[in-house]
Each structure stands twice: as structure tokens, then as C-alpha cells.
Amino acid sequence: MKQIVIISGKGGTGKTVITGAFAALAEDKVMVDCDVDAADLHLILDPEIKQSHIFRSGVTAFTHKELCEGCGVCKTVCRFEAVKDDFTIDPVSCEGCAFCSLVCPQNAIQMKTNVSGKWFVSGTRFGPLVHARLGVAEENSGKLVSLVRQKAKEIAESKNYKWVIIDGSPGIGCPVIASITGVDCAVIVIEPTLSGLHDARRVIDVVKYFNVPAKIIINKYDLNHDMTKKIERWSEDNNIQILGKIIFDKAVVESVVEGKTIIEYSNDGVTKALRNIWRLLEEELDRTN
């Protein structure tokens, strides 16, 4: 069983569309949407929710005003600017350290468990999908990402599936780290822009830091041939394999609007490129057994 994550550093490069394509092309797989604070994969996989669970993470301070004597010690110790002038707590800024709660001489501050979101196991036309929805303005510590990944891994192991295909999120912080650790391959989607290359470099540094093998897909490559060449040279210099290049095609947006993967929508350049990319990825990962 192999785990693949699709990330990019920069947002909007095509991670979710490519994850959807892999879902359509791979056999015997589980999909996971690890972009938990802006999940989109379900929009093209049309999931039927089979299990729904509440996700609890961390605690938030809460002041019982009737017990508060207004001494203000809580405000002096809080490093996250979460204690307001009236000594009630701003739940958005509170990081749950409980320092205020411990120092309050009246025991007026209680730490309450957060219901931070929900996670789901669903069925789709391509197999099971594990996905989640982090609550509005909640902390994205990576715990929910780890949870959905663990569930997907359990499903894959119990059904003897071959692949776990993970849609990652933009950035390089804890949610991304939680989605890449322990995978067999991180597929980096790069668009041929200066920003795209800049951001990909940073996420590839993170991938290397956690000892995960990386491969590259150049998406919308015809928007700037010079930048594409630059990325190709950089990849070669850094010994990272390019799985393939995909052309820019408005059909991709059309397929998303229709709620389909691009593979189902058209048989043109984008689909052909993705078929080749998937085949190559499969071969590469089968080899490293």
C-alpha cells in the first residue's frame, strides 16, 4: 500500500483537480482531503456521507463573570492578547495554554473543550473518501489532518487497497507537515510563474526536511515557456523527477463546474498528460518496493 500526497506551496496550482484525476485513474484506492480549512475535493467526487464524527481539539478559556473580581492578573500573564479589557476571553485569540486559569485567585476562569469541526467517511464513485470540515476560525494544528489520514490508512489496510491519495493544502506549516509525514511520495504541483517556483522551493525544502521523496508536475506550462524551462533546469539540478507537464485548458474549469474530474470530462491534452503522469508515478512507486 502506497501513500501519495499532492501539494504545492502556493495555492491555486491545481492540486485538487490533479487529486481528482488520480482518483479516477488509480485502482483500489482511498482518497483523503487534508485541506481541512478549505476542503474542495468533495465538489468533484460527489460523496455520500456514511459516517460523521465530531472533532474535538484543545481547550479555550472562559471567564465566569460572576466570580471575577477584576484584579486583572489574567491579562498580565496572557501572551496571546486574548484577555479583553473586561477580563472575558476572546476565543479567537486564545491558544488554550490555561495560564490565566491557573493564576486566577478566584478560580473564575474555566478551560472548556472545543468542538472544532467534523470529519466524515463517505463513499464516492471512485471509492472511499475521508474528509473533514474545520470549524470557522478554529486552530488548524494538524491534528485533524493526522486524524483523517489515519482513518484513510486504516480503511486502505483493512480492504487491502493499493493507494491512499491525499489532497494537501497550500503553505508549509503544521497542516502541510501533518499531510506529508510518512508518505511514499509527495507530488509537487508547480505553475510556471516566479511565485510558483519560489513557493515550490520552500515546500520542497520541507519535504526534504521530513525525509519524504518528491516528484514534480508542471501545470499550465504553456502560460510561460521560459519559466517552464527554468523549472525543468532547476528540477534537474536538484535531482527531482518531473512526472510530466500539463497544458492550460479552460476545460478544467468547465469540468469542475460540472462536478466531474477532468478525466471524465474530456479526452484532450490535459487528460492525456494526466494518464501518462499517473502511469509513470505508478511504475516509479511499484519499483521502489
Partner 1 sequence: MIISIASGKGGTGKTTIATSLALSLSNVQLLDCDVEEPNCHIFIRPILESRNPVSIPVPGVNQDKCDGCGRCQEVCAYNAIAVVNKEVLIFSELCHGCGSCTYFCPNDAIEEINKKIGIIETGRKNEIQFAHGKLDIGMMMSPPVIRAVRKHINKKKTVIIDAPPGTSCPVITAINGTDFVILVTEPTPFGLNDLSLAVEVVRKLGIPFGVIINRSDLGNKKTDEYCVRENIPILMRIPFSKKIAEIYSRGDPVVKELPEYREKFQGLYKKIKEIKTG
Partner 2 sequence: MKIAITSSGTTLQSGVDPRFGRCPYYIIYDTENDSFEAIENKSSLAGGGAGIQAAQNISDMKAEAVITGNVGPNAFRVLSAASVKIYSGATGSIKDAIEKFKNGEYEETTGPDVGSHFGMGRK
Give the residues lining the site for partner 2 (CB under 8 A). 56-58, 139, 141-143, 146, 149-150, 177-178, 181-182, 210-212
Backbone angles phi, psi at 144, to 5 degrees: -65, -35
CB atoms within 10 A of CB 153: 18
Binding residue (CB under 8 A) for partner 1 from 47, 128, 192, 244 = 192
Q: Which of residues 113-142 bind partner 1 (CB under 8 A)?
A: 134, 136-140, 142
For residues 196 and 188, the answer to whether their CB atoms sit within 8 Å is: no
- Of 289, 237, 244, 236, which is closest to residue 271 (Cα–Cα)? 244
Q: Which residues of 28-55 are buried (b: 16+ CB within 10 A; e: fewer)?
A: ebbbbbbbbbebbbbebbebeeeeeeeb
Question: Which of residues 150 and 238 has its CB atom nearest to partner 2 in the complex?
Answer: 150
Q: Which listed option, partner 1, partner 2, none, makes contact with residue 262 (CB within 5 to 8 Å by class)? A: none
Give least dist CB 101 to partner 2, A.
17
- Return the number of the residue (118 or 272) whose C-beta is nearest partner 2: 118
82 forms part of the interface with partner 1 (CB under 8 A): no
Give the shortest CB-192-to-partner 2 separation in angstroms: 31
Rounded-to-integer distance, Cα 88 and Cα 143, Å: 27
Residue of 208, 231, 207, 205 whose CA lies nearest to 218: 231
Q: Of partner 1, partner 2, none, which one sits near residue 146, judging by CB under 5 to 8 A according to partner kind?
A: partner 2
Question: Closest distance between partner 1 and the C-beta of residue 273, in Å?
Answer: 19
Q: Tell the smallest beta-carbon distance from residue 235 to partner 1 (Å).
A: 17
Q: Judged by CB under 8 A, does residue 10 bind partner 1?
A: yes
Size of the site for partner 1 (CB under 8 A): 62
Residues 237-266 that bind partner 1 (CB under 8 A): 250, 253, 256-257, 259
Question: Footprint of partner 1 on this chain (CB under 8 A)?
Answer: 9-13, 16, 37-40, 43-44, 59, 77, 79-80, 92-93, 95-99, 102-103, 134, 136-140, 142, 169-175, 177, 191-196, 198-199, 202-203, 205-206, 209-210, 223-224, 227, 250, 253, 256-257, 259
